[in-house]
Amino acid sequence: MGKHPNDLEVELIHPWLRQSHIVLDLGCGQTGKNSIRLAKMCGYVVGVDHKIPSTPMKNVTWIQQDVRACTKKLRPDTMFHFVQARLLLQSLPKEDALAMLRALAGHVRTGGRVYVLTWFQQPSGSFPTHRRTPEGDFEPWTFYRSDEIISTFPDWRVVWEEESKHFGKGRHTGEFHNFFATAVILERPRP
Ligand SMILES: C[S@@+](CC[C@H](N)C(=O)[O-])C[C@H]1O[C@@H](n2cnc3c(N)ncnc32)[C@H](O)[C@@H]1O
């Protein structure tokens, strides 16, 4: 039994965020609910997804595109205080996901943080064993161990690391019950 993502976020992420912070929410989802929550705590949020909310918000920019391409569009001097990839990486081929994180590491300020929440194992129950890609194909989900995420950010401080077999029945999306997750929070060290 591990820490539920909601608790992790409330205890370890939200208190750390500041009104001056600039945040990147990768795979923000069509409702953008996590970006909207972050926008109440931070100065500015960029939410990227294939499907973005239609409602504009004054301190959020929604960008509709493949997350894997977003690093190519960032100016070299664009720096974030906080980057989150929440329930996104399980949808990507591992080499693409880790390459994207590696590229993003260069866009995190010193002392800034990266939060990854993804799957280390197929959730139980009726969840489908294959995902439908944006192109409509079926592909297997991708699973990650926490050390695979951590080793993508060499020398960063590990703030939190967890591989949890059960985050709690029905507390996540309601789509499935047992949530087999890898959760990692990393901090870019100060020189
Ligand atoms: C399970 S939802 C998670 C949404 C939100 N981050 C959350 O935690 O509730 C996964 C999201 O990732 C998006 N996604 C998956 N692969 C993507 C890709 N290659 N580029 C952009 N968005 C992607 C999907 O469109 C979907 O909105």
Residue 105 backbone zone (phi > 0: left; psi -120 to 50: alpha; other: beta): alpha
Q: Looking at residue 69, what is its pLDDT?
A: 93
Q: How far is CA 95 from the centre of its chain?
A: 16
What is the CB neighbour count within 10 angstroms for residue 72? 9
Q: Looking at residue 113, what is its pLDDT?
A: 98
User: For a pocket test of ligand 1, which of 68, 83, 88, 95 has the largest count of ligand atoms closer than 8 A to its C-beta?
Assistant: 88
Q: Looking at residue 139, what is its pLDDT?
A: 87
Q: Looking at residue 1, what is its pLDDT?
A: 58
User: For a pocket test of ligand 1, which of 50, 96, 118 has the largest count of ligand atoms closer than 8 A to its C-beta?
Assistant: 50
CATH no., domain 5-187: 3.40.50.150
Q: Are 183 and 5 in contact (CB under 8 A)?
A: yes
The C-alpha atoms of residue 60 and residue 107 are separated, in whole angstroms, by 18
User: Considering the entire predicted model, what is its pTM?
Assistant: 0.93
Nearest protein Cα to ligand 1, atom 13: 27
The set of protein residues with a Cβ atom below 6 angstroms from ligand 1 is 27-30, 34, 49-51, 66-68, 86-88, 91-92
Q: Looking at residue 171, what is its pLDDT?
A: 45
Tens digit of pLDDT at every position of the chain (191 positions): 567 788 889 999 999 999 999 999 999 999 999 999 999 999 999 999 999 999 899 999 999 999 999 888 889 999 999 999 999 999 999 999 999 999 999 999 999 999 999 998 877 666 778 888 878 888 889 999 999 999 999 999 999 999 886 554 444 444 445 668 899 999 999 98
User: How far, in Å, from the CA of 52 to the mean position of ligand 1?
Assistant: 10
The C-alpha atoms of residue 106 and residue 101 are separated, in whole angstroms, by 9
**Strand partners for 113:** 82, 187
| Amino acid letter for position 175 | E
Q: What's the full length of the chain, in residues? A: 191
